[in-house]
Amino acid sequence: MALTAGIVGLPNVGKSTLFNAITKAGALAANYPFATIEPNVGVVLVPDKRLDNIASIVNPKKIVSTTFEFTDIAGLVKGASKGEGLGNQFLSHIREVDAIIHVVRCFEDDDVTHVDGSVNPIRDIETIDIELVFADLDIVEKRLPKIAKKAQLKVDKDMIEEHNVLLRIHEQLLDNKPIRQMVFTNYERKLIKSYGFLTLKPAVYVCNIPEDDLVDQTTNNHAKAVINHAENEGSEVIMISAQIEAELSDLEDEDKAMYLQELNLAHSGLDELITKSYQLLGLQTFFTAGEKEVRAWTFKRGMSAPECAGVIHTDFQKGFIRAETISYADLMEHQSMIAAREAGKMRSEGKAYIVKDGDIILFRFNV
């Protein structure tokens, strides 16, 4: 499933350094605005210890992780919605992603220029949020006059409801609040889906903090301010030192583990970012396991067994018969597929079955 998280932020907050660490793609990282002109796209493996644990039992010839896509989007500046900086070009790049990773500078460094002359994470967040709000407001204000008369005629139910929900959104945006804070019915979400609202996209804040603050993150006042802001809007926050993550990305697994131990860190901040981004979009993982291959597959929470079969191949969905399923927990308990089956833990699920995170599935189909 090709879902993408876009990395945004003001210039010089550490976006491209973070992106390089995530993908090892070598995107241009420079100490001046607009070092990233075209969006850089990188595919990363989603860390999942369950995959290795399943493989240790099945002993396949190959292990295949599921993947996730990140896009590094150039730094926005004040006035972007009106064409300042690289303006609408950047906004269009954000419109194409499914979730927003908002990198916020929470470190002091006289050698790294700040576009506004000082470090103030809440001001920086508001600068970008306002530009995204203005871009959404422009869409709503152009659409409302076009459907107002049709809605007043009360002939087309969809048009009436679309008009009503846009009026609510308009009020929210005029209050400089993102649309994602609003509550919508599934019907309303379908009506507004085609607009591609920027502030409707789920978001996570990444505080780029100094190495010295990694172990005790409560000492960073800039990060504390971001946490308070995020709590008020119901968003997630992750603490990362982009520079440390860049250094970790160049190390082999064993050296990386030693370095993390020296830093008194349980895991890489990037692993947490990838996992949180994955969860942010409501993504989950099911597994297929055999002698040739153990593989992780991405699916959207709530998908049925036939839909998940279609993730592997459309023919699997068309000719779906049943899904022979065992949970990850049951496999770990019995330590073999045969033992789990003999214990009655292997289930035969039909078309109505909603796949659960961690299911290990053998799809039966006939085309």
pLDDT in tens, 272-313: 888 888 888 899 999 999 999 999 999 999 999 999 999 999
Q: What is the pTM for the complete model shown?
A: 0.81
Q: Give the tens place of pLDDT for each residue, 239-282.
A: 999 888 888 888 888 888 898 888 888 888 888 888 888 888 89
Which of 52-56, 150-154, 270-274 is least confident? 150-154
CB 263 within 8 A of CB 256: no
**Cα separations (Å) of 294 from 287, 330, 342?**
7, 17, 21
Looking at residue 113, its pLDDT comes to 67
Looking at residue 364, its pLDDT comes to 95
Looking at residue 213, its pLDDT comes to 86
Looking at residue 331, its pLDDT comes to 96
Average pLDDT (44-66) is 92
Looking at residue 96, its pLDDT comes to 85
Angle (CA) 137-278-239 rounded to 5° is 85
Looking at residue 250, its pLDDT comes to 84
Average pLDDT (62-74) is 86
Looking at residue 32, its pLDDT comes to 43
Q: Is the pLDDT of residue 83 over 60?
A: no
Looking at residue 75, its pLDDT comes to 60
Q: Give the tens place of pLDDT for each residue, 84-125.
A: 444 455 677 788 889 999 999 998 887 776 777 788 999 999
Q: Is the pLDDT of residue 65 over 50?
A: yes
Alpha carbon distance 49, 116 (integer Å) = 43
Which of 30-39, 223-232, 298-307, 328-337 is least confident? 30-39
Looking at residue 1, its pLDDT comes to 59
Average pLDDT (312-316) is 94
Average pLDDT (152-172) is 90
**Cα separations (Å) of 202 from 21, 227, 346?**
23, 16, 36
Q: Give the tens place of pLDDT for each residue, 339-367.
A: 999 999 999 999 999 999 999 999 999 87
Looking at residue 54, its pLDDT comes to 97
CB 204 within 8 A of CB 277: yes
Which of 163-172, 221-230, 268-277 is least confident? 268-277
What is residue 297's DSSP assignment?
E
Looking at residue 90, its pLDDT comes to 63
Looking at residue 34, its pLDDT comes to 40
Looking at residue 27, its pLDDT comes to 45
Looking at residue 171, its pLDDT comes to 96
- How much of the chain, in percent, has pLDDT values that exceed 90? 48
Average pLDDT (15-20) is 84
Q: Give the tens place of pLDDT for each residue, 28-50.
A: 444 544 444 455 788 888 889 99
Average pLDDT (1-16) is 82
Total residue length of the chain: 367
Alpha carbon distance 106, 62 (integer Å) = 42
Task: Please give the helix or strand (H or E) that residue 190 lies within, else none.
Answer: helix 186-192
Q: Which string of DSSP letters, residue by residue, matches 117-179?
A: SS--HHHHHHHHHHHHHHHHHHHHHHHHHHHHHHHHTT--HHHHHHHHHHHHHHHHHHTT--G
Does residue 272 come out as left (phi exceeding 0), alpha (psi in the -120 to 50 range) or beta? alpha
Which of 36-40, 224-228, 261-265, 319-323 is least confident? 36-40
**Tokens for 285?**
């993982």
